[in-house]
Amino acid sequence: MEKIDLSNGLEMPSPGFGVFQSKPGQEAYQAVLWALEAGYRHVDTAQIYANEADVGKAIRDSSIPRESLFLTTKIWNANQGFEAACDSFEKSLSQAAVDYFDLLLIHWPQTHTRADTWKALEKLYEQGKCRSIGVSNYTSKHLQEMEGYASIKPMVNQVEFSPFLYQKELLDTCRSQGIVLEAYSPLAQAQKLSHPLLAELGSKFEASPAQIMIRWSMQKGAVPLPKSVKQGRIQENFDVFRFSLSADDMNLLDKLDEGFRTCWDPSSTE
């Protein structure tokens, strides 16, 4: 496991473990238990995933001390605005049955409410109810706009990022502002795993296509959040520390960029 420093000094374990589309109940619970067993110490949930309770239960049942874990949730669109964000965050705490989250994100940049939602996150951070705050699906334009209303700079921007969607400009913007980029859908939701370059590099390193994609994100300085509900894949996606891609390998992978998205494109959000 690697640890990435956030701008406030908090350490974020990498890679993290994603639970989007992990079914609430046994599926999400079991996936998180397997992830913790495999060595992940960072779990990425969200209000809209409806599995905060399962994540919290798995964390407790794992017996791993809470302070060794990094837990993220995100304020969903319907809960944006100052009061609604604060209220929904209290619900997230009680759903997960935790005293604090390590990272709280605004899930999507909602046009009319995102500035007030950010004020809510700043308050929750100052109250110690979340140990870091950030945004998700923010473009450079949305980040620039924050300079006009944020008292605290976001520590993280979680966006879609993979060799097939290499958002170099956004990555550079985040880096220059001390914002850690978290890579969601780092496996492009398994839609590109059969690309021949991934197979070629995989045979060079005795690694799977998924492991090559995860390494690429990590070597770009991003924190990938691969998701799986299968124990073998959960282990495989964490077993990424026994090889390193060379500069030439990285350059070849950079060229796979084709603007491929599995989720909505936030650039049209005013």
Establish if 137 lies at the interface with ligand NDP (CB under 6 A): yes
Nearer to ligand NDP, 44 or 249 (CB): 44
Measured CA to CA, the distance from residue 262 to residue 88 in angstroms comes to: 27
Find the binder of ligand NDP among 64, 152, 250, 263 (CB under 6 A).
263
C-alpha to C-alpha distances, 114 to 33, 47, 121, 268, 269, nearest whole angstrom? 34, 16, 10, 15, 11
Measured CA to CA, the distance from residue 69 to residue 215 in angstroms comes to: 22
Closest residue to ligand NDP using C-beta atoms: 18
Of residues 215-244, those binding ligand NDP (CB under 6 A): 225-230, 233, 236-237
Q: From the CB of 226, what's the least distance to ligand NDP, in Å?
A: 4
Q: From the CB of 67, what's the least distance to ligand NDP, in Å?
A: 22
Nearest Cα to Cα of residue 263 among 165, 179, 133: 165
Nearer to ligand NDP, 63 or 107 (CB): 107
Alpha helices in 39-113 (DSSP H): 52-62, 82-96
Written as six digits, the tokens of 119 are 């004020």
Nearer to ligand NDP, 195 or 233 (CB): 233
Establish if 201 lies at the interface with ligand NDP (CB under 6 A): no
CB 226 within 8 A of CB 18: yes
Nearest Cα to Cα of residue 59 among 91, 85, 23, 95: 95
Establish if 249 lies at the interface with ligand NDP (CB under 6 A): no
What is the phi/psi pair of residue 215, to 5°? -60, -40
Q: From the CB of 264, what's the least distance to ligand NDP, in Å?
A: 8
Of residues 12-71, those binding ligand NDP (CB under 6 A): 18-21, 44
Nearest Cα to Cα of residue 211 among 196, 183, 233, 181: 233
Measured CA to CA, the distance from residue 51 to residue 29 in angstroms comes to: 8
Show the site string, 96-135: x = touches ligand NDP by CB under 6 A, - = not. -----------x----------------------------
Show the site string, 153-172: x = touches ligand NDP by CB under 6 A, - = not. -----x--------------
DSSP letter (8 states) at residue 130:
B
- List interacting residues with ligand NDP (CB under 6 A): 18-21, 44, 107, 136-137, 158, 184-190, 193, 208, 210, 225-230, 233, 236-237, 262-263
